[in-house]
């Protein structure tokens, strides 16, 4: 199977069957993120305790890329320290700008499937919405 086709299938799977798209009772860090250019709207909910993202989930609506990206991001940061989650967010942003190394991109696991979004400027804001929201939550949260 061609790599681009595999990436499309990963994005499609996360969009159609998101594991982390749900309410998160007991979340102590919640932030709404909006992409006004296309109407993507997510509310990221996290349980952060002792500097660790214990759980992450999101609700909202938007295009396949925004929803899949938020789902992959939740899967990647859950169980990591806030500092690790922020670092992964930084790698993701640099990947989208075409500045991340192959080794860094590998750390993003399935989120690396969004690497080619950098060639689609209209979709960049869709892909980074969840990640920007996560970085903002963790910057504001006393972990």
The model's pLDDT over 91-138, given as tens digits with 9 standing for 90+, comes to 999 999 999 999 999 999 999 999 988 888 888 999 999 999 999 999
Q: Where are the beta strands (DSSP E) in 1-141?
A: 29-35, 40-49, 52-61
Structural domains of the chain in order of their starting residue, each with its CATH number: 3-141 (3.90.1010.10)
Confidence of residue 45 (pLDDT cuts 50, 70, 90): very high
What is the model's pTM? Answer: 0.92
The CA–CA distances, whole Å, from 117 to 31, 32, 95 equal 24, 23, 9
């Amino acid at each position: 199977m061609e790599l681009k086709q595999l990436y499309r299938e990963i994005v499609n799977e996360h969009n159609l069957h998101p594991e982390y798209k749900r309410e998160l009772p007991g979340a102590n860090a919640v932030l709404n993120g909006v992409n006004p250019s296309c109407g993507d709207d997510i509310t990221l909910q996290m349980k952060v305790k002792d500097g660790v993202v214990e759980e992450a989930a999101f609700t909202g609506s938007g295009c396949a890329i925004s929803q899949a990206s938020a789902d992959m991001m939740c899967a990647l940061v859950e169980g990591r320290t806030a500092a690790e989650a922020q670092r992964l967010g930084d790698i993701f942003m640099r990947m989208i700008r075409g500045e991340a190394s192959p080794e860094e991109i590998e750390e993003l696991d399935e989120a690396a499937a969004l690497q080619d979004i950098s060639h689609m400027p209209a979709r960049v804001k869709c892909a980074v919405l969840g990640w920007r929201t996560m970085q903002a939550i963790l910057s504001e949260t006393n972990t």
